[in-house]
């Protein structure tokens, strides 16, 4: 447990630095978020990662699956940070996620058959491309992230992830109305919500 906690603290700092570099490459604006600048950002990332790593260590899963969960969480944290700051999702992270998913086809316990993964991948791409034909703006990064998640979770897992994503965005919209800081038209990056749905559905598949 202490090993995982220490590993999480270190990984959190590494992911924060990696996220900062990716943000600087994609935006000229100065980072202002408490989660990305100054000493508090290092404390927040280190503690969050440490707690998540320690939690995953309590799951009754094989070591391979635990490493899989931790890698996915780390990459999704980077996706969320970069998307919040730049509204862009780095292709390199998507490629890493896809590579991990392919490796897990052969190593993971109870892994989805490749056919179900491909069907999930196709279904996710179709679902996320439909809004573009209705003149609803959906970023290419969001479409690619959803496609990767479809491959990694299959159709049912992807559906669960999208339900959780929708609930998260609904809560955010309700907060905007209550605080009078925005409306339903206020654009919010989808990456963090998709990532949240992905992680929860990966750890606790219910559909």
- For the chain, count helices (H), then strands (E): 7, 0
How many angstroms separate the most distant Cα atoms in the chain?
Answer: 51
Copy the structure tokens of residue 166. Answer: 């929708």
The pTM is what?
A: 0.89
So what's the pLDDT on residue 138? 78
pLDDT of residue 39: 84
Res 33: pLDDT: 66
pLDDT, one tens digit for every residue, the chain (207 residues): 788 889 999 999 999 999 999 998 887 665 666 678 788 899 999 999 999 999 999 998 888 999 999 999 999 999 999 999 898 999 999 999 999 999 988 886 667 888 999 999 999 999 888 877 776 677 889 999 999 999 999 999 999 999 999 999 889 888 888 877 666 555 678 999 999 999 999 999 987
* pLDDT at residue 53, rounded to an integer: 96
The predicted pLDDT at position 29 comes to 65
User: In 10 A of CB 132, how many CB atoms?
Assistant: 13
Task: Name the nearest CA neighbour of 22 among 94, 72, 73, 70.
Answer: 94
Helix locations, 58-113, DSSP H? 63-86, 91-107
Phi, psi torsion values for 57, nearest 5 degrees: -65, -20
Give the pLDDT confidence score for residue 129 in this predicted structure.
83
8 A C-beta contact, residue 159 and residue 197: no
Cβ–Cβ under 8 Å, residues 151 and 117:
yes
d(CA 80, CA 75): 9
Q: How far is CA 111 from CA 53, 105, 168, in A?
A: 22, 6, 27
Question: How far apart, in whole angstroms, are the C-alpha atoms of residue 196 and residue 193?
Answer: 5
């Amino acid at each position: 447990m202490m090993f995982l906690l220490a590993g999480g603290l270190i990984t959190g700092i590494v992911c924060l630095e990696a996220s900062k570099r990716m943000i600087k490459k994609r935006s000229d604006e100065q980072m202002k978020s408490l989660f990305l600048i100054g000493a508090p950002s290092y404390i927040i990332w280190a503690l969050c990662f440490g707690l998540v790593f320690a939690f995953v260590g309590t799951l009754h899963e094989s070591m391979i699956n635990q490493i899989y969960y931790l890698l996915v969480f780390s990459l999704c944290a980077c996706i969320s940070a970069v998307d919040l700051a730049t509204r862009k999702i780095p292709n390199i992270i998507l490629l890493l996620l896809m590579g991990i998913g392919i490796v897990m086809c052969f190593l993971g316990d109870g892994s989805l058959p490749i056919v179900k993964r491909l069907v999930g991948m196709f279904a996710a791409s179709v679902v996320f491309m439909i809004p573009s034909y209705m003149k609803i703006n959906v970023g290419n990064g969001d479409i690619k992230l959803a496609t990767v998640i479809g491959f990694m979770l299959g159709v049912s897992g992807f559906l669960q992830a999208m339900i959780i994503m929708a609930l998260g965005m609904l809560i955010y919209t309700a907060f905007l109305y209550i605080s009078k800081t925005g409306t339903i038209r206020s654009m919010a990056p989808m990456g963090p919500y998709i990532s949240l749905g992905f992680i929860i559905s990966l750890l606790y598949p219910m559909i």
